A and B are shown apart, each in its own frame.
Chain A
Amino acid sequence: DTGVSQNPRHKITKRGQNVTFRCDPISEHNRLYWYRQTLGQGPEFLTYFQNEAQLEKSRLLSDRFSAERPKGSFSTLEIQRTEQGDSAMYLCASSLGGASYNEQFFGPGTRLTVL
């Protein structure tokens, strides 16, 4: 399967714990995006990488959130001191760079439940 993959698919944690999610983009894609989707809402943009550089961050990305993309390949999204409001589906997408438009391909998401 050469699509975008995300792990784990589900994560249940207790409030105050740290969690880390991983996204593996399509191999030739140099752009990688993180979105958050809560129940009944559309995905909301969190952050975007071009290669290893984090080029844009949403105001939704509080200081408890950190994302990395070492070597411009896979990416990790860490949430520290989780809160119940962090419960959501975290979606990763990737695309080619260069042209002004390239389709974003989405992964299956990681569903986080904070108890």
Chain B
Amino acid sequence: AQTVTQSQPEMSVQEAETVTLSCTYDTSESDYYLFWYKQPPSRQMILVIRQEAYKQQNATENRFSVNFQKAAKSFSLKISDSQLGDAAMYFCAYRSAFRGGGNKLTFGTGTQLKVEL
């Protein structure tokens, strides 16, 4: 079974600064997807960014980028130019890419990000 670990329960960042959230995972599969989801206080989960394991290039979405290290099974999220609206719980998630692997997402325990003025 796959597991996802987020070792930082809380992180703080000053507005306009950069912060990196950590995630490690464990799997025996070679093909999979990794995601970062944001859950604001209203509780609706929003996809921030995704990475396909077969792609070596790190994904980027505007101010959000990832550092994907497949051999180390590490998948960190970097938020640049942090804004007050970035304050939320961030979840790292894994999904198998194999047809028989199911479609479920496996989530970490989350990192609460606080953005300070």
Contacts and interface: CB of A to CB of B under 8 A. Distances in A.
Nearest to B104: A45
Interface residues of A, number: 24
A109 B40 CA distance: 13
B97 A109 contact: no
A100 B96 CA distance: 9
Interface in B63-117: 91, 93, 95, 97, 99, 102-110
B91 A48 contact: no
A106 B102 contact: no
Contacts, number: 55
Interface residues of B, number: 24
Contacts of A45: 104-106
A44 B44 contact: no
Contacts of B45: 43, 91, 93, 106
Interface string A72-114: 0000000000000000010101010000110110111100000
Given A89-B43, A101-B52, A107-B44, A48 B104 contact: yes
Contacts of A43: 45, 91, 105, 107
A48 B44 CA distance: 19
A103 B93 CA distance: 12
Nearest to A95: B103
B99 A100 contact: yes
B47 to A, nearest CB: 6
Contacts of B99: 100
A109 B43 contact: yes
Interface of A: 31, 33, 35, 40-45, 48, 56, 58, 89, 91, 93, 95, 100-101, 103-104, 106-109
Given A41-B109, A101-B95, 19 more contacts: A31-B103, A35-B105, A42-B4, A42-B91, A42-B107, A42-B109, A43-B91, A43-B105, A44-B107, A45-B105, A45-B106, A48-B102, A48-B104, A91-B45, A100-B97, A100-B99, A103-B47, A107-B44, A108-B44
